[in-house]
A and B are shown apart, each in its own frame.
Chain A
């Protein structure tokens, strides 16, 4: 399965199985900037996408291929196809020179 890099979002293939408590929806917002309103979201036309968190990690599962979109701004990251299966949602990091720590890139 391929890795999806969509702006600062990474959907990384893993083998975790979804728990029964996973949130099921045809659409999930993965990240949204409070200021600009720009957001990344996943959309499935038929099969629901399951989303759950475990040990501070977030996962997605869908039995069919689905899409990831970037909405707002120039929508420059376009639309990508995400292959079916389980993905871990990862956020790109950057260094904060003021605190000398890593922080999540806000896009």
Chain B
């Protein structure tokens, strides 16, 4: 029985990890025959009839191909009158048909299995076949009764130092069909929101509607930097419950307003929010915005 890993075996863990991250995210080729054979084998192993296998080049290509197949079975008047519900049913069907037997869902299994295999602990023919299918480039799959859609790998993936999807100037993920996905430190943005953040003013950032998006924008432009060049007064500071600062600021497009700066209770994430202009004390303001008492706020923080 293996009781302790050698230095080489320990080093191999990182190598296999990086290799599979590369396979999942950064290689762009695909083996059509291997993908088709792998999908048909998965159906066979699940006692299902062999499906037609469609290779799609991205999310938009998949949506078009799938919608076209639904469209082909629905007449014009029906299509027009029930478009909303068709879309809902497409969404429901697709949601239920996304499976994990692909690189986006199971690359970790590939790394896990191949590590044990390479150090001679475990080998299994079915696992070899499955890992071969994963290596063929099936990034995301949607399995239906008669047809299986297989999305190939993205053409570009950008990540931050913590390997979260991230880019502030280009899409974080792109596919051959033109699909673009926008993420900053792992938080998703729509294309419109992403374009807006590039030229966002301090007022835009401080009042950004989604607080998670606001928080990642503050990682790129920290609150201290944002507040550097504006007129501000510290109204109150409280170190309890993680620490809060209440500021009065004067913004060119808003005028005088009050904001609260603070860190998440469970991480180092920086947050900021506008608070009512009558706010005077940090904890009273936070408790009031949650409709609880200061005592309840403190007790919740302790627990």
Smallest CB gap from B207: residue in A: A97
Find B213's partner among A36, A76, A93 (CB 8 Å cutoff): A36
- Residues in B neighbouring A106, C-beta threshold 8 A: 209-211
For the complex, would chain A's binding face be called helix, strand, loop or mixed by DSSP majority? loop
> What band does the interface of chain A fall in when counting residues whose beta carbon is under 8 Å from B?
20 to 34
Q: Is A44 an interface residue (CB 8 A)?
A: no
- Residues in A neighbouring B203, C-beta threshold 8 A: 97
Report which B residues bind A (CB closer than 8 A): 186-190, 193, 203, 206-207, 209-213, 251, 254, 257-258, 264-267, 269, 273-277, 289-292, 296-297, 299-301, 303
Q: Nearest-CB distance from B274 to chain A (Å)? A: 4
- Residues in A neighbouring B193, C-beta threshold 8 A: 35
Q: Nearest-CB distance from B240 to chain A (Å)? A: 14
> Given A12-B292, A73-B187, A73-B212, 18 more contacts at CB 8 Å?
A2-B303, A3-B292, A4-B300, A5-B300, A33-B210, A33-B212, A36-B188, A76-B264, A77-B266, A94-B273, A94-B289, A97-B257, A98-B207, A102-B289, A105-B273, A106-B210, A106-B211, A107-B211
Is B266 within 8 A of A102, CB to CB?
Answer: no
In whole angstroms, what is the CA distance A56 to B193 when docked? 30
Find B254's partner among A4, A97, A102 (CB 8 Å cutoff): A97
Report how many A-B pairs have Cβ atoms within 8 Å.
87
Is A76 within 8 A of B300, CB to CB?
Answer: no
Q: Is A41 an interface residue (CB 8 A)?
A: no
* B190, B210, B251: residue with the most chain A Cβ atoms closer than 10 Å: B210
* A33, A38, A94: residue with the most chain B Cβ atoms closer than 10 Å: A94
Q: Nearest-CB distance from A42 to chain B (Å)? A: 17
Smallest CB gap from A37: residue in B: B188
- Residues in B neighbouring A105, C-beta threshold 8 A: 211, 273
